[in-house]
Amino acid sequence: MSTVYIISAPSGSGKSTLVNELRKIVPNLEFSISYTTRPPRGSEQNGREYFFVPREQFEQMVRDREFLEHAEVFGNCYGTARRFLQEAQAKGNDLLLDIDVQGAEQIKQAIPDAVSIFILPPDRKTLEWRLRNRSLDAENVIQRRLVTAGREIEKYDKYDYILVNDRLEDSVEALKAIVLAERSRRSGCVTSANESKNQQIAEQCRLGNVRERVQPIIASFVTTSVPGGG
């Protein structure tokens, strides 16, 4: 039985970079490319970062029940096609979903044993710097993303694991450990020294073990919230 891994994060938290690195080092892990009605940004290509489709086609896919989950964010629609899970199961592989908080809630309702991972920036100031540094958005969009990030971060306690993306190398190692530890746990195999190390790293990221570290991050969004945002 395939394990579904949900990864969510505020825009600009480095989620895409982490997912790309994870896919290079963890075998038998399929990636679901989302469908979206928004236009490509920068060097994005159809079928690589997203499937870019007209709204009419997206709405028809909704009517045909082709999505595991779908949501509208900043006026654009995003959805995870059901076929990716079916294909992963047919190959005996696990499935990785890169989706937002709304989509994660829908997936957890449909697949209760899915493993959910929330990626946090170290603080609001760092997230704002990352958003500006990538030069993809106008100022009003950056401010709106920061307000949305504050709302999304409040939902962190709905996730199984919390990963603070401070240093890329550490975050990649932790994400890999979570995926492999869950595989090991669900397979019921004898635990090797390497698997024990993965389980130890993963355990440090469990929701119950990171609450204290997360509080200052949440506070940084509350104390510097943008007036009139929404």
pLDDT, tens digit (0-9, with 9 covering 90-100), for 185-223: 888 775 788 888 999 999 999 999 999 999 999 999 886
Tell me: pLDDT of 230 over 50.
no
Quick one: 230 exposed, middle or buried, by C-beta within 10 A (0-12, 13-18, 19+)?
exposed
Q: How far is CA 196 from CA 24, 71, 155, 177, in A?
A: 22, 38, 30, 10
Walk me through the domains of the chain, giving residue ranges and CATH numbers: 4-32+94-223 (3.40.50.300)
Residue 161: the pLDDT is: 97
Residue 228: the pLDDT is: 44
Q: Tell me: the pLDDT tens digits for 141-194?
A: 888 889 989 989 999 999 999 999 999 999 999 999 999 999 988 887 757 888
* Residue 9 to residue 175: CA distance in whole angstroms: 13
Residue 229: the pLDDT is: 42
In whole numbers, what is the pLDDT of the chain averaged over residues? 90
Tell me: pLDDT of 225 over 50.
no
The rounded percent of the chain whose pLDDT value lies above 70 is: 95
DSSP states of 23-46 as a string?
Answer: HHHSSSEEEEPPEESSPP-TT--B
Give the HSE-up count for residue 26: Cα atoms under 13 Å, Cβ half-sphere: 27
Across the range 36-51, mean pLDDT stands at 91
- Which stretches of the chain are assigned E, i.e. beta strand? 4-8, 29-32, 35-36, 51-52, 67-73, 76-81, 94-98, 115-120, 161-164
Tell me: pLDDT of 123 over 60.
yes
